[in-house]
Amino acid sequence: MLRTKRRTTAALLVATTMLCQSALAESEYQPPRLPNGQPDFQGTWTNKSVTSLTRPERFDSLTLSPEQARQIAQAMEARAARDLQPTDPDAPPPPKGTNVGGYNLFWTEPGEGLAMIDGEYRTSWIVDPASGQLPYTEQGRKRFEQLRDEARQNTDGPEIRPMTERCIIGFGSTGGPPMLNVGYNSNYEIVQTDEDVMILVEMVHDARIVDLNGEHGPIPRWLGDSVGRWDGDTLVIETRNFMDGEGLRLYFDASYYVSPQAEVTERLTRISDDQLFYQFEVRDPAVYSQPWRGEMVFNKTDDRIFEYACHEGNYALTNVLSGARKEERDQQTSD
């Protein structure tokens, strides 16, 4: 998907963020409401950020000072400037105000800095365990590593390749639950009715349908079987019955695994005109030694959601398999 990205300088980002009031402190905020009285979450939101699920090793705490956050934002801006340089140094400069001359970064949109939650810059979405790491059991970690290595190395056929590579669901955990940011297309459109809440995920056009005040069915579904209810002005979503094939969620260092028996609870609260506060808890005794919890903010955006033209049977998968067959033929020849 090609579209022009609007990038904010690090200085402006930090200055603007510092002026924002603590999202959680605005207890007096009254959200707009639908005709049925429910809080209105409708619109397009984004969770793009440098903050990710687990805490990188270079950080030793959940929060950073404004100066540390400013330094990270400036480093991101410098990296973007380098990556946006034209691949061909002799190529004419791109039109003013565009970045089409850069090859390595023009399609990404990771965010300009760390996320701010409750007035603090966060180094991870995970808040429990306090380490900011996933609390795998020994068996759970072995299962994750086994599936991860098999997905990366096994090229026997398309069925064994990761669901995300086959464009069946988005990579990482964009559709979730929990719904997590990746390097681009971290946008979500919410549409509400009296009976349902639909969350359209820009990445691989996943669509979650949350049945309000319904009951869980016995059949596994892609992105799980989500049932919602209102707790005051907070939308509470309970999800279970995940498809076995979507348990491995691959996204660089933020990869993780949930079993088909996992249960996820999400809480969405509109805390201002421009923000949703998002909390989640994952319970999966088959993989983890304890439930793990996270917090995130979704920010209102005027960006449009575009079609993500990735489909099962795409050329990338064909090339992966044909390349593996060539390697096998070459090996046979050398033997």
Could you tell me if residue 103 is inside a domain?
yes
User: Residues with Cβ < 8 Å from 154, sequence gap 6 or more?
Assistant: 160, 161
Terminus-to-terminus CA distance in the chain, angstroms?
43
Could you tell me if residue 310 is inside a domain?
no
Q: At which residue do the structure tokens 């100066």 appear?
A: 67
Please report how many Cα atoms fall inside a 13 Å half-sphere around the Cα of residue 56, on the Cβ side. Answer: 11
The DSSP 8-state label assigned to residue 45 in this structure reads E
| Element containing residue 117 per DSSP (H, E) | strand 116-117
Could you tell me if residue 21 is inside a domain?
yes
In terms of residue numbers, what domain contains 189?
10-300
Q: Cα dist. 76→69, 102, 121, 168 in Å?
A: 11, 16, 15, 31
Instruction: Determine the Cα–Cα distance for residues 241 and 254; give it in Å rounded to an integer.
Output: 23
Instruction: Determine the Cα–Cα distance for residues 3 and 1; give it in Å rounded to an integer.
Output: 7
Q: How many domains does the chain have?
A: 1
Return left, alpha or beta for 249; rule: phi > 0 is left, psi -120 to 50 is alpha, else beta.
beta
Could you tell me if residue 3 is inside a domain?
no
Could you tell me if residue 321 is inside a domain?
no
User: Residues with Cβ < 8 Å from 69, sequence gap 6 or more?
Assistant: 14, 113, 114, 121
Residue 226 contacts residue 242 (beta carbons within 8 Å)? no
Residue 273 contacts residue 300 (beta carbons within 8 Å)? yes
Could you tell me if residue 315 is inside a domain?
no
Q: Which of 291, 289, 294, 263 is nearest to 140 (CA)?
A: 289
Reading the block at residue 234, the tokens are 């907070």
Name the phi and psi angles at 45, rounded to 5: -130, 160
- In a structure prediction context, what are the per-residue pLDDT tens digits for the chain, which is 335 residues long? 333 333 343 333 433 343 343 445 446 899 999 999 999 999 999 999 989 999 999 999 999 999 998 998 888 788 777 776 766 767 666 666 555 544 556 667 777 788 999 899 999 999 999 999 999 999 999 999 999 888 888 888 888 887 778 888 888 899 989 999 998 888 999 999 999 999 999 988 888 999 998 899 989 999 999 999 999 999 999 999 999 888 999 888 789 999 999 999 999 999 999 999 999 999 999 999 999 999 999 999 998 888 887 766 677 788 888 898 998 899 888 87
Could you tell me if residue 154 is inside a domain?
yes
Could you tell me if residue 261 is inside a domain?
yes
Reading the block at residue 272, the tokens are 């201002």
